Amino acid sequence: MAQDILTLKPTNVWKFFHEICQIPHPSKKEQKMGAYLVETGKKMGLETIQDKAGNVLIRKPATKGKENVTPVIFQSHMDMVCEKNADTVFDFEKDAIQPYIDNEWVKAKGTTLGADDGIGMAIALAILEDKEIEHGPIECLFTVDEETGLTGAFALEPDFLKGKMLLNLDSEDEGQFFIGCAGGVDTIATLDYKAEKPNPDMLPYKVTVKGLKGGHSGDDINKNLGNANKILNRVLYHGTYYHDIAIAHIDSGNLRNAIAREGYAIIMVPKYEAKAMEEYVKEFNQTVKNELFTSDAAVEVSMVPTGMPETVIDDFTQSDLVDAIYACPHGVLAMSQNVENFVETSTNLASIKMDDKKIVITTSQRSSVESKKDDAKNMIAALFGLINADIEHSDGYPGWAPNTDSKALHALRDSYVKLFGKEPLVLAIHAGLECGLIGEKYPEMDMISYGPTLRGVHSPDEKLLIASVQQVWDLTVDFLKSIN
């Protein structure tokens, strides 16, 4: 499989992408990737710096005659979203990603591919290694922990970067240039409960939701994808109020920035209600398939006997929980009034987790309007406050205001038209990008974001369009030659 990847064009980019796939790099655990980047930069004979946060900066001097050209920064992030299918045995802290070619795409076996943002890193490293490209001074910035906290971008020192033009290599549609993004914040509700002994006359079952596509909670929030948390809770809500079930355990959803793909709950059902509950789940499975027949038709809801749990949630907390999850919004809250078909504000019901003392509900809110972001987080906090949950908000991150007069935008667009004979789309994106934080620290920075085509990011369905990598490489090379 590796050999297949290494035969793709441009070979220098795919070589580095293959190497990146061999190195575990989950969020907050990028030490091995950071060491690889430092070693690679030094092997190239280039100035290489790693800051206290773990961010790596590699500088490449200009080619002869280009010393006075505008310095350019290429920026990508080291970490990847670690999602796998339930039946895939894989340790993201130890195992290498297994990429393979599937027609026009590169995918991974049962896991996220890590092309978000491994392909951005690979392009940057190929630029640093290439000795044929004409270019001015170049800096390549590789940040840590973009996916779970943007802590690398938060920790950037104001004098770390010298360049004034930054190209972020973390967008997912070739032919689209992004000049603005949403800001975001997480809202986490923690609910205490009383663990009680299960009724021995009740029957234990496992209710499972699987088969959903999942996806990026920014890019894909408007695609009517199913949310495993919301679907699972519909079963639990119905069981609570119509069949007297008791909930023993819930584990649904995973990452704050991913739409929940799968989840399960262990429940106890009175013997006299068991048949009716089983019939309900069968009917509900078809109901959900009908509801999602165009966007997520592979969804499966099932209920099967399981082992007896040690405890169940107390009745009072259970009713509060299923009510609050039912009432919790998920999806688009508002569309932009300025940009056609652009999501302005959204919220993602990301995960429901529990241990033997508490239940934790994680949500994330995004908006390109700062006041609407605050309004959305307050709405979620108020909802869970009604059931006396403890509420915690993350520090959040700012949006990135579009600049249509950007020199980087005009230069990249000119190169695109010259190479491909058509205009690129110039857009803002509902997903968060590090450009917002970088712009806060470097207010004069001229920024744009672009990249090859990815689909299914933040899920095991993640795939990278092979042809788009060559297009982005050709565009980048031409841009560097033409910028002055």
Does 146 participate in catalysis according to the annotation?
yes
Report the C-alpha gap between 117 and 135 in whole angstroms: 24
Q: Report yes or no: 128 and 46 within 8 Å, Cβ to Cβ.
A: yes
Query: Catalytic pick from 83, 116, 146, 478?
Result: 146
Residue 157 is a catalytic residue: no
d(CA 131, CA 308): 65
Distance from C-alpha of 352 to C-alpha of 371, rounded to nearest angstrom = 27
Q: Cα–Cα–Cα angle for 164, 165, 168, nearest 5°?
A: 130
Q: Is the dihedral of CA 316, 322, 327, 329 positive or negative?
A: positive
Measured CA to CA, the distance from residue 294 to residue 410 in angstroms comes to 38
Distances (CA, A) of 134 to 67, 117, 168, 247, 471: 11, 25, 20, 64, 18
Q: Find out whether 137 and 67 touch, Cβ atoms under 8 Å.
A: yes
E strand or H helix that includes residue 114 = none
Catalytic residue among 79, 83, 116, 478: 79
Is the omega angle on the peptide bond into residue 145 within 30 degrees of 0, that is, cis?
no
Contact between 121 and 36 under an 8 Å Cβ cutoff? The reply is: no
Q: What does the CA dihedral 383, 250, 330, 215 come to, rounded to 10 degrees?
A: 150
Q: Which residues are catalytic?
A: 79, 146
